[in-house]
Structure 1
Amino acid sequence: METIAEASEKSDLLAEIQTEEQENFTLRRLEASDYAKGFLDLLGQLSVCGQVSQEEFTKRFEELQSLGDDHFVCVIEDLQSARIVATGAVFVERKFLRTCGKAGHIEDVVVDSSVRGKHLGHKIMNFLTQYAKNAGCYKVILDCSMENEGFYEKCGFKNTNIQMSLRF
């Protein structure tokens, strides 16, 4: 039986990024070698990453890989510069609600400031949303800042609740 990740990788979702206008970009799953391609620098445009060594990155990467199809980090690589220029993640929460349903959670979506306006954020969001749907999720949710609300509305999301947090 084909896994969700295999089905997604074989689908048009990954090929979709290879349009004529964007032939220098490829959408794929995060790889351990992306540490050297500026993955953490990119995430630093979203929030604080701190100093993460390659060893720490590799350990976390392997932890995430061990979660299988329930956690997928996708990246868009600029093939000319060999740099990661966009990323996002989705994880699948297995619930008791909705007859043991699943909910997708989108996290850590960011596009490098140098390539914004090329619709790479939309490509990431389309991929992550479809991935959650293919995984059997009955919904996909995300948290965002108020200044990013318009972008997510363009991606089909609606403001349905408020977010509460307790930070440690």
Structure 2
Amino acid sequence: MAKLRICYGDEVKLLDGKEGIVKYIGHTDFFPGRTWLGIELHTNDGKHDGKVRNRVYFNCQENHGIFVQSKEIAVVLKSKEIDKEIPLDELVYVNNYGKGRVRFVGQTMFDDTGIWYGIELLQRDKRAAKGNTDGTIDNIVYFKCENHCGVFVRSNQLRLVGMNKKKKKRKRKKDYSI
């Protein structure tokens, strides 16, 4: 079975039949070391409102929130039409930083005005800026990486690696043989 490409804002169907919208992708305090998807269910079959143990991961109605792992997603029903869909673990180019991998997607406690992408920087170009985090900000772990190898950015600072590359057309050599 091919791995699903799950993005923030996608409408998904879980293996148990429940449906909802992906509102959070990243680590949690209640089960560290794993990546979780926060789902806002269409029905009140959830367990919370996006807040668990006094930390807000996302916002939804009471009993509409649930956390699952990607293996519990049966199918992506509809991809949200946002400016860019960049899923977890995708290889990206970050303006001024170089290449990295998406390790977190969602709202944060340090700024809840939109979606942030947590990036683990991979390729260190001497001209590129250093990262400014290990994935933790204000004692909240969003993802884990080595110190100064992570950054939080908005989607307008990201580009999927391989995007906007023009394919070079090979010039055919003229055949002058007779």
So what's the TM-score if we normalise by structure 2?
Answer: 0.28
- TM-score, normalised to structure 1, is 0.29
Normalized per residue, the structure richer in strand is 2
Give the structure with the larger helix fraction. Answer: 1
The structure with the largest alpha-carbon Rg is 2
